Amino acid sequence: MTERGRKRLAPQKRRPSNDRRKRRARPFDVRYRDLGHRTLPRGRIIPHRRHTSRELAALIRRCYAWRTDYVRAGPWSERLVASPGEGGQTSTPDGPQPGGKPMNVRKSLRLGAMFLVWAATALAQGPKPVKVEFTDVRLENGLRVILVEDHSAPVVSLCVTYNVGSRNERPGRTGFAHLFEHMMFQGSENVGKGEHFLLIFNTGGDMNGTTNEERTNYFQTVPANQLDLVLFLEADRMRSLDVSQQNLDNQRQVVQEERRLGLDNQPYGRSREKLQELLYDNFAYKHLVIGSMEDLNAATLEDVREFFRTYYAPNNAVLTLVGDFRTEEALAKIRHYFGGIPRQPDPPPVDVTEPEQTAERRATVEDPLARLPRVDIAFKTVPGNTPDFYALQVLANVLHGGQSSRLYQKLVREKELVTSVSGFVDEKRAPGGFYITAMLRPGKRVEEVEAAIAEEIERLQREPIADWELTKAKNTARRAFINAIASSLSRAILLGQYAVYYGDPNVINTRLEHIMAVTKEDVQRVAQRYLRPTNRTVVITIPKAASLPAQEEGGR
C-alpha cells in the first residue's frame, strides 16, 4: 500500500482545543433555523462535513426549480420515454449538462412515475375478487359435506358444525348447548375419555370447539396423512357419544367454574348479561350461551341424552374439509366413516321473531369489581347476510373502528372523556345488535359520554360520510375478511357457519362483494333507521364504592 493510501485510511485526529466546552458550544442547531427546525441533535459528525444552512437552502432551491421544469415537461407518457434534450443535454438539479448522464434522482423519478402509472391502472381495475372453490355434496343420511382442495401446505382442517346453539334451549334448561360442547370430549364407544385430545396432539395437530347462539362447532387441524384419524374420531362421537351420569356431573362443574371465572367474577360481567336481557324480548336470544347456575344444576341425564338425540344427528350437521387431499378420495373416506350413521327426525323450528322496540331501555349496574364507570349501548338491527347488515358493518368501521374512527377521535383524543371506545355488529339469523362500549376516564361524567356519542350518531344521520371514510371503512372490512379466510381452518369454519346460518356456503364468496357495494347513502340510511333513541338500550356500570341512585329500567 502506498504512503498516500495509508494516510487516507488513517483515522482523523481531533483538532486540539484547550477549551472543550467552547468547542462543544458551537450553535449546530442555529444552522437549520432557515429550514424550520427548532433543534436537531448534535450527533458525532465531523464538523467540516456538516452542511451549512446556506448550502442546504441552495440545494433545496435547485431541487424545487428542477421540479418545476420537470412538471412542465409534458404528459407522463412523454416523460417516461423522453430522451436527452437538444444538443445532447440532460437536465439535472444543477441545470442542463452538455453530454452528461442523468443523475440518480432523475432515474428514481422515472421509476416512481412508472410505479404511479401502474398503481393508477391497478386501482382503476379494482380489487381482485376473492374466490373459494368448493365441492358441495349431501350424503343419503342428510350430512352435508363441503370440500376445498388446498395443496399449499401438507395439512387438513376438519370442522363439523351442528345446527344447535343457545337459541335452541328452552326456559329452565339454559346452558345445554355449551354443556354439550364439553360432553363431546368425554369419550365414545371406541374412544376413551381424554383420548381424543391425546390422539390429535400426538400427531402435532390442534383442536377445539365453540358454541354461540346459532351453532356449535368442533374443529381440528392435523397433518394430511392423518385424515382418516380425524374422520374416525368425529364419526365415532356423532354415532355413539358416552353420555353418562359421571361425565355429566364433572362437566357440569367445569362449565359452572367457567361461568364464575368468565362472568360472575369478571369486572363488567354482570353488565354484559344485563344488556342481553334488556335488548331482546324473545327468550331464544335473551339469555347468554353460558346459561344460569340454577339451570345447570337442574340438568338431568335424560335431558342431556334427549338433547344429543335431537341435535347431534348427521342431518343436522355440516362437515367441512379444507386442505391437502384429493376430493374424490376424501369423499370416499367420508362416506365410509359417516355414511352408516342413521338419520334422526328434524329438530323443531326455533321462533326467532322479535317485536320492534318503541322506547329506550336503560339500567344501572353496581359492580364491586369495576374500577371505572362504563357505558354499554346496543341497538337492535337486522339478520346477517342482508343489505342493511353489510351497510351496518361499514357504519361500524366509520363510527368506532380503530383510532381513526369518529368516536375515538372525539371521545378519546379531543374531549378526553374515555380511555377506550369500541364496538361490533352481531351476526345472527334473527335480528342482531349494533354495540358500542366506552370506558370512562376517572372523574368524567356518564352524561357527558352519552351526549358525545349521541352527537356523533346524529351527525352520521344528518350528513353523508366523506369519501375517504367510506374507502377506509371498506378497506378495513376487506382486510379483516381476507385475514379471516387466510388459513385452511378459518375457511373450514366459515363455510360450515354460512351453510348452517343461511343454507348457502357460497356466502364466503359474495360477502365481500356486498360490503364493497355499500354507498354513502346506505350508511346514512341505516344510521337513521336503526340508531334511533327509541331503539336504544343502555347499561351503565358504576363501581359499587361510588354508587349512584339506581335508575329504573324503562322502555318496552
- What digits encode the pLDDT tens for the residues 60-94? 555 555 444 444 444 433 433 333 333 444 444 34
Q: Which of 24-38, 43-57, 337-351 has the lowest average pLDDT? A: 24-38
Are 92 and 102 spatial neighbours (Cβ–Cβ below 8 Å)?
A: yes
Look at residue 130 in the predicted model and tell me its pLDDT: 72
| Strand, coil or helix: 376 | strand
CA–CA separation, 323 vs 484, rounded Å?
A: 16
Which position has the higher pLDDT, 552 or 499?
Answer: 499
- The per-residue pLDDT of the chain, averaged, comes to 84
Please, what is the Cα angle at 515 between 511 and 519, to 5 degrees? 155
The total of other beta-carbon atoms located within 10 Å of residue 393's CB is 27
Helices 245-259 & 176-183, crossing angle to 10 degrees?
120
pLDDT, one tens digit per residue, over 317-357 is 999 999 999 999 999 999 999 999 999 999 999 999 999 99
Share of the chain above pLDDT 70, in %: 75
H helix intervals, 382-466: 387-400, 406-407, 446-462
Q: How confident is the model at residue 409 (pLDDT cuts 50, 70, 90)?
A: very high
From the number of C-beta atoms within 10 Å of its C-beta (0-12, 13-18, 19+), residue 387 rates as: middle
Biggest distance spanned by C-alpha atoms of the chain: 100
Cβ-proximal residues to 440 (8 Å cutoff; 6+ apart), any chain: 372, 373, 374, 375, 417, 418, 419, 446, 449
Are 216 and 181 spatial neighbours (Cβ–Cβ below 8 Å)?
A: yes
pLDDT, one tens digit per residue, over 222-280 is 999 999 999 999 999 999 999 999 999 999 999 999 999 999 999 999 999 999 999 99
- Determine the CATH number of domain 361-546: 3.30.830.10
Mean pLDDT of 155-168: 98
Q: How confident is the model at residue 109 (pLDDT cuts 50, 70, 90)?
A: low
Which residues of the chain does CATH 3.30.830.10 include?
Answer: 135-338, 361-546
Element housing 301 (H / E): helix 301-311
Look at residue 129 in the predicted model and tell me its pLDDT: 64
Look at residue 53 in the predicted model and tell me its pLDDT: 59
Helix then strand then coil, % of the chain, to nearest 5: 50, 15, 35
pLDDT, one tens digit per residue, over 426-454 is 999 999 999 999 999 999 999 999 999 99
Chain mean position to CA 510:
18
Check whether 510 has a pLDDT greater than 50. Answer: yes
Are 25 and 42 spatial neighbours (Cβ–Cβ below 8 Å)?
A: no
Query: Which value, to the nearest 10 degrees, does the dihedral of the CA atoms of residues 496, 502, 504, 507 take?
Result: -80
What topology is assigned to 135-338 in CATH? Cytochrome Bc1 Complex; Chain A, domain 1 (3.30.830)
| Strand, coil or helix: 75 | coil
**The overall pTM is greater than 0.85:** no
Look at residue 23 in the predicted model and tell me its pLDDT: 46
